Amino acid sequence: MNLRGRNKVTPEFNMSSMTDIVFLLLIFFMLTSTMVTTNALDLVLPKAKGKTDSNKSISISIDKDLKFYLDKTPIEEASVEAQLLAALGGDKEKPVILRAEEGVPIEKAVYVMDIANRNQIKIVLAVRPK
């Protein structure tokens, strides 16, 4: 009499479904990472600890040649205040990010900060993380 069971469980594991899931996740993250871009110029910022949130904010950039930009639009230094107030549209709760490239004289950054202070606008100085 044969008393052995006919149903044997094999200890093998099929990895094909696991690799499919990994490849789908890889493709998803590769596609979504290319859609994340900042609305800023390519400037070399000074280093500091901390982080700035660039979503839903206006940025003023100053490059090495002392050219001013509102988001990515070049503006004249004399019209920074008028352009900034027009871009804010009366919403003084919206933060302004000041991006001054390394080597820019501190007087230019203070000029923009003074404009923000006079108009009670929140301003943050952007830096590179250490």
Cα separation of 28 and 16, whole Å? Answer: 19
pTM above 0.75, yes or no: no
Residue 37 is predicted with a pLDDT of: 59
Q: Say yes or no to pLDDT of 99 above 50.
A: yes
Q: How far is CA 27 from CA 1, 17, 18, 24, 34, in A?
A: 57, 16, 14, 5, 11
Query: 3-state class of 108 per DSSP?
Result: helix
Q: Say yes or no to pLDDT of 43 above 80.
A: no
> Of the given ranges (19-28, 33-42, 62-71), which has the lowest mean pLDDT?
33-42
CATH code for residues 47-129 = 3.30.420.270
Cα separation of 68 and 85, whole Å? Answer: 15
Quick one: pLDDT band at residue 36, thresholds 50, 70, 90?
A: low
